[in-house]
Amino acid sequence: MTNNELIDRYGRRIDYLRVSVTDRCNLKCIYCKTEDFELLRREDILTLEETARIVKLASEMGIRNIRITGGEPLIRRNLAHLVQMINDLKNIEDISLTTNGILLNEFAESLFNTGVKRVNISLDTLKRDRFKKITKSDRLGDVLHGIETVLRIGFSPVKINVVVIKGINEDEILDFARLTKEKPISVRFIEHMPLSEPHSYFPLDSIRKELMKLGELFPASNVKGCGPAVYMRYKKAKGTIGIIMPMSEEFCDNCNRLRLSADGRLFPCLMGERFIDLKGRLRSGGNDKEIKQLIKDAVLTKFLSPVDSKGNKMIKKSMASIGG
């Protein structure tokens, strides 16, 4: 491993860092937080300057792509300032954002002007009553308005992430798919990774069968992003369909990412318990060389597979605790 690239034990180049800026959210989605989830104390959350320092050091080691996440990142005060600090780094090539979309109409323009050009919007239903049931909030209209705002401003691509949950929203797959025929968006259907309710799992094959009812799908290329989605499109559609399949078809072989939690823990793998405490070393006076070594250590502990010796998926924590 050289000083300007991060390569793990399996030869994978790590160039993508997901940065959670808060564990707080303005929604309470039913699949996101476990019952024992506790909010961080504010003093335990990285400052914007601390986050920017970690990103800077990581960028000097080969990180090129940053995704801002939460919780809900748009509730983090002065988020555009952090985006600007990251955008000013010479080695960063791409900054994207994952949001629930409620505050997009308010903040989209400032984020676009400071460096965010791509946005993923988490939206699991187009029905108002169902939105209230899933999120415990009556703000579907704000999300839909936010989608129109980012399209108008010029974000590209605009992606809508739909977690398909059996018994909740599998009947809306075609409603979401139709959006791609009308708008230049990418709707990405994501298999639900059930933390405690395996009966809620709706498999990939069933998602594909539903999509085919609307017409033949063709492979789609040139959809910008660093993630594991497989993209397709309907004939003459303005947008694309993406499928992310963490349960049916493991995609860890090509994993290129690290995750930084809001409290400064660096996770090599979403599904593992291991992490490196960057905040502790940062606040105890650690110099740049020491922080970089910890980042290297995290890369060298990445798993090849999230399956343990007994064949069990190793999801043991709340998605909200590390930014999903």
CATH classification of the domain holding 230: 3.20.20.70
Assess if residue 2 is contained within a domain.
Answer: no
Assess if residue 93 is contained within a domain.
Answer: yes
Assess if residue 10 is contained within a domain.
Answer: no
C-alpha angle 165-146-236 in degrees, rounded to nearest 5: 70
The residues, ordered by sequence, that sit 6+ positions from 207 with a Cβ below 8 Å of its Cβ are: 164, 173, 189, 191, 243
pLDDT tens-digit series, residues 17-56: 999 999 999 998 877 755 556 899 999 999 999 999 999 9
For the beta sheet containing 265-267, the strands, ordered from the edge strand earlier in sequence to the opposite edge, are 217-219, 230-234, 240-244, 185-191, 158-164, 118-122, 94-99, 65-69, 16-20, 257-260, 265-267, 276-277
What are the distances in angstroms from CA 264 to CA 56, 260, 291? Answer: 14, 6, 12
pLDDT for position 2? 52
Enter the pTM of the model.
0.90
Counted domains in the chain: 1
Which residue has better confidence, 4 or 122?
A: 122
Assess if residue 102 is contained within a domain.
Answer: yes
pLDDT tens-digit series, residues 139-188: 999 999 999 999 999 999 999 999 988 889 999 999 999 999 999 999 99
Assess if residue 5 is contained within a domain.
Answer: no
Assess if residue 168 is contained within a domain.
Answer: yes
pLDDT tens-digit series, residues 186-218: 999 988 765 445 556 677 788 889 999 999 999
Assess if residue 4 is contained within a domain.
Answer: no
Token match 């988020």: residue? 79
Query: Structural domain of residue 26, as residue ranges?
Result: 16-321
pLDDT for position 278? 98
The residues, ordered by sequence, that sit 6+ positions from 127 with a Cβ below 8 Å of its Cβ are: 140, 172
Mean pLDDT lowest among 62-71, 137-146, 268-277 = 268-277
Please give the structure tokens belonging to residue 24. 């707080």
